[in-house]
Amino acid sequence: MTLIRANSILPARREALRLETADGLGLVAELARPADREPVATLVCLHPLPTHGGMMDSHIFRKAAWRLPALADLAVLRFNTRGTSSVQGTSDGAFDNGEGERFDVAAALEYAEFHELPNIWLLGWSFGTELTLKYGCDPSVEGAILLSPPLRTAEPADLAVWAESGRPLTALVPEHDDYLQPPEAEKRFAAIPQAEVVGVPGAKHLWVGHAELVLDEIVRRVNPAVALPLPGEWDGEMTYGDASAYADRTVAAFADVPRP
């Protein structure tokens, strides 16, 4: 048995993709699926704010793609929204303050639906939670998990759409979040009766040191048949990513405060 570390990559079928948006842009993406079986469910990842280092390779999403196909039978689709760069590449276009990004969300959901990926869940983080709330309540979506939701641009009407849909919605809210902490989150998400707000003691907006807890909470909702906590060791093939390759691309993996 080998210890699963931050840069451990477990076996999966991994495919580099290009998502095409309705307004003519190509988005850099990757789909990771279980190596030897079909996935039980699918995570479509919407990353943090690209002007603050957010990208498809931000550490929670990177670890989800590297571990969850093997440990939890999940497919993980992650992509760079318009104008966003990572070591995977740069998507066409330019950051549009969450407006044009509606086409990016639609392109990812259309890809997942067209390729018959099962039980699609949105996994939004920070800026990605705003995209989830504004544009993600799609008929193809089973539910959503929100990491560090700031609730800055989502309107009451957006919350009402989720409330009316009845789709499950979980918000994981760090105790020491920079933007929205658990007591206020409870009040704000009360507009969605089925919303579950989970306060996480000791955590901050970027989840540094809490990745394993976050992955467990994701799996708990998306594939509840999996025993938790997820294993910390792996008996089989394992490779390793170069964490240093991300150091100049994002602070989200390495710092406790957003970059100015």
| Residue-wise pLDDT tens digits, 75-103 | 999 999 999 999 999 999 999 999 999 99
pLDDT of residue 255: 35
pLDDT of residue 243: 67
In the chain, which stretches have pLDDT less than 70?
Answer: 243-260
pLDDT of residue 245: 61
pLDDT of residue 72: 98
134 Cβ contact partners less than 8 Å away, ≥ 6 residues apart: 98, 102, 153, 154, 155, 158
Domains of the chain in start order, with CATH, are: 7-246 (3.40.50.1820)
pLDDT of residue 250: 42
Q: What is the pTM assigned to this prediction?
A: 0.94
pLDDT of residue 244: 67
Q: What are the structure tokens assigned to 224, written together?
A: 């509840």
* DSSP, res 10: -
218 Cβ contact partners less than 8 Å away, ≥ 6 residues apart: 43, 64, 68, 123, 145
pLDDT of residue 78: 98
119 Cβ contact partners less than 8 Å away, ≥ 6 residues apart: 40, 41, 42, 142, 222
Closest CA to 41 of 228, 172, 197, 226: 226
pLDDT of residue 246: 62
